[in-house]
Amino acid sequence: MNKILLIILGLIPSLTFASSDAVNLDLTSHWAGYLALTLFVIAYAFVMLEEFTHFRKSKPVILVAGLIWGIIGWVYASKGIPHAAEAALRHNFLEYAELFLFLLVAMTYIEAMRERLVFEKLKVYLISKGFSYRQLFWLTGFIAFFMSPIADNLTTALVMGAVVLAVGAGNAKFISVAFVNIVVAANAGGAFSPFGDITTLMVWQKGLVDFQQFFVLFFPSLVNFLIPAAIMHFAIKNEKPEVVDEVVNIKNGGIVITFMFLLTIATAVSFHNFLHLPPAMGMMTGLGYLMVVGYFVKVRHNSNDPISERFDVFRKVSRAEWDTLLFFFGVIVSVGGLGFMGYLALVSEAMYVQLGATYANVLVGILSAIVDNIPVMFAVLTMTPDMSLGQWLLVTLTAGVGGSMLSIGSAAGVALMGQSQGHYTFVSHLKWIWAIALGYVASIFMHLWINAALFDVPI
């Protein structure tokens, strides 16, 4: 009870400060602003070099997030208005908390299904069917495209990557090209669903695009995947890998947990659309589903049966992608700090006022290939430019699929570089940038054409 009172009392100052200290200092030409911007660039350089340094991407951005806000706090305290910075930072914490809880539940479910061998069953099924390399190229691509809207592009890439490594053992060329295809397919599939990518999730949670409105991006996303896939198709020899005769049985509770995951997604959507509550609350309710199901799976556990391994939901939570979750914290808090200093207002003026919304949103996709789409999209959401529904869908599309142009531009690409055992690298992906760029341009024109009416619909 005392802890609850302390939490409530801890929230009261933020409400007071938000109303009494609405002072924002323009630090874009101040030494503090220059220092913060320099620190962020250095941190992001480490993120981009993770493939070579093996220095996890969460470490530099978390450190820099603290330094940036320390600088802000120092300046505001010296000006006698310390609580304005505190209120702004609390707002960043709230935005991250919703994203964190949402992703934590999703990752826990994915880990539970992985441990129950749901994905392993899919992998063995594909291997055992005797498909040719070209057929496997298209199968893994299409599965990634349609799996990503539900399981997110990161998880999809890892699952399909495991399949490609298994069936393509000894064929480095196939693995390399198939991995590029999976990255493009997973990012494209994730662009037309709130659950497919962090960027779409952020836009949906912000309330800028309704759940069902994302699906108008289906055909532009499909074009984005098909064009580079059709080009890469000819780089793969039409040979067959050796058939592996292996039997995998899904563990006790695996099918039920899969259905609970779908129910959890439905709950999150319902909380947001019908009850007007944060989707993260629906996901946390879904975590409750898993915990209850996990109890009965544990009760049915037979210690003499090696297939029925003891199920522990808290172990699944511990195996979530913590580096990714902490990376998002560092990015959101760092970009929030730069925005509080005034830099995002400058960028918004340069991009959305001088260039115009369409060109600016196309540029967002190109930037997301270099910088990663999470900070780019968070920056756009923080700027909140006045745009129509069609333009918000355009930036959702470009930020989601633009990252496919470079291997470091999306979580899917970064994850596969670590999984590929050296077969898929920054350079091997770069060889296909021209084909991916063709798909990127074609998907934008497709959206501008088939969804033209939405560009007159205000948010």
Query: What residues does each domain of the chain span?
Result: 106-247+343-456
The model's pTM is 0.72
Q: Quick one: pLDDT at residue 143?
A: 92
pLDDT for the residue 241? 75
Return left, alpha or beta for 122; rule: phi > 0 is left, psi -120 to 50 is alpha, else beta. alpha
pLDDT of residue 181: 95
Can you say whether the dihedral through the CA atoms of 395, 261, 320, 136 is positive or negative? negative
The pLDDT value given to residue 12:
31
How many Å apart are CA 300 and CA 293, to the nearest integer? 11
Per residue in 360-398, pLDDT (tens digit) is 999 988 888 876 677 778 778 877 888 999 999 999 999
How much is the pLDDT for 301? 63
What confidence score (pLDDT) does residue 92 get?
84
d(CA 40, CA 45): 9
CA distance 263 to 278: 16
* The predicted structure's pLDDT at residue 4: 36
User: Which residues in the chain show pLDDT less than 50?
Assistant: 1-21, 304, 307-308
Q: Give the pLDDT of residue 345.
A: 75
d(CA 37, CA 27): 11
- The pLDDT value recorded for residue 459 is 64
Looking at residue 420, its pLDDT comes to: 66
pLDDT of residue 152: 73
